[in-house]
Amino acid sequence: MRVIAIGATGFIGRDVVAKLAEAGHEVTVLHRGKTPLPARRGVTEIHGERSTIREMRSEFRAWSPEVVVDMILSSAAQARATLEAFRGIARRVVAISSGDVYRAMAVVHRLDSGPAGAGFIDREFAITNADAGIYAGSPRRCACCFSVDR
């Protein structure tokens, strides 16, 4: 399978790319080029900015991925831009957000109020983010899949 991984140079992205490559998938990582990508067989890179993702359609079309894994998605506008950039090119977009992690750390560091501990992301938080189009499903779910119309 051909996969484009967006922003996959840190946090969980490096591990996702490694696992995809180990499983025999062809992976291209779209990133800014500020963090070196470890050399790995079956992995290539495209340098670009998220803010110009729509303008990179011809490059994406030339590579023709089946799946897009977006690991730096942080807003509904970014979700729409990713979907628009890959509509008619990829069959599936997987959005992985660490928003819950950052919110948890904000609570731990007292930058945000809220209950601490496992499972503190409540239904209201999940619904609010689902309404924004960036968080679907139950409060404990951290990855969302979208089919892209071909």
| pLDDT tens column, 115-125 | 554 444 444 44
CB-CB neighbours of 146 under 10 Å: 16
- Rounded mean pLDDT of the chain? 76
CA atoms of 20 and 10, how far apart (whole Å): 15
Contact residues for 59 (Cβ-Cβ < 8 A; gap 6+): 46, 48
Domain limits, the chain: 2-98
pLDDT band at residue 57 using 50, 70 and 90 as cut-offs: very high
Q: What's the pTM value of the predicted model, to 2 decimals?
A: 0.68
- The per-residue pLDDT for range 70-101, each reduced to its tens digit, is 988 777 788 889 999 999 999 999 887 666 55
CB burial string 77-113: b at 16+ within 10 A, e below: ebbebbbebbeebbebbbbbbbbbeebbeebeeeeee
Query: What's the mean pLDDT in 107-133?
Result: 51
Arch. (CATH architecture) of 2-98: 3-Layer(aba) Sandwich (3.40)
Which pairing describes strands 92-96 and 26-31: parallel, antiparallel, or unpaired?
unpaired
